[in-house]
Amino acid sequence: MQSFQEFMKPEVLWFVIGVLLLISEFFIPGLIIGFFGAGAIVTAFFSFFFNISVSVQLAIFIVASLISLFSLRKYLKSALDKGDGSTGYDDFIGENAKVVETKEIEILKNKQ
């Protein structure tokens, strides 16, 4: 019972929510959810060091999330995206490759 009460502390909840949001950024495209995860972790930090109310925690979460979203998203998106729609493999177009292992794909087997 005591471990459940430890888990229900605001700073732990905010931290867990932040980590889950940061992890979900890898699975959901758009480069947005991670900033809300960062906002939740900032809120966890403030909740850990200061005894603040839930309304102040929500305000910190919203402000930290929006500041990180609007100040870092453009920079990170340009750093991660070349902007020309390329996949990063353009240097290999027209080059020769050596096949080292062959595998049949199940989908192709079923079509035949």
Helices marked H in the chain — which ranges? 2-7, 10-24, 33-49, 54-80, 106-111
Amino acid at 89: Y
- Whether 91 is covered by a domain: the verdict is no
Identify the pLDDT of residue 37. 93
- Whether 51 is covered by a domain: the verdict is yes
Model pTM?
A: 0.64
Q: Which range marks the domain in which residue 69 is found?
A: 2-82
CA atoms within 13 Å, Cβ hemisphere of 31: 14
Identify the pLDDT of residue 28. 86
- Whether 39 is covered by a domain: the verdict is yes
Q: How far is CA 110 from the centre of its chain?
A: 37
**Whole-Å CA distances, 110 to 61, 67, 69, 102, 104:** 51, 51, 46, 18, 11
Give the DSSP letter of residue 36: H
- Whether 93 is covered by a domain: the verdict is no
Identify the pLDDT of residue 99. 79
- Whether 11 is covered by a domain: the verdict is yes
The string of DSSP letters for 68-96 reads HHHHHHHHHHHHH--SSS--S-GGGTT--
Mean pLDDT in runs of 10 for the chain (112 residues)?
Answer: 72 93 88 91 93 92 93 77 61 80 65 56
Identify the pLDDT of residue 21. 93
- Whether 60 is covered by a domain: the verdict is yes
Q: How many domains does the chain have?
A: 1
Identify the pLDDT of residue 47. 93
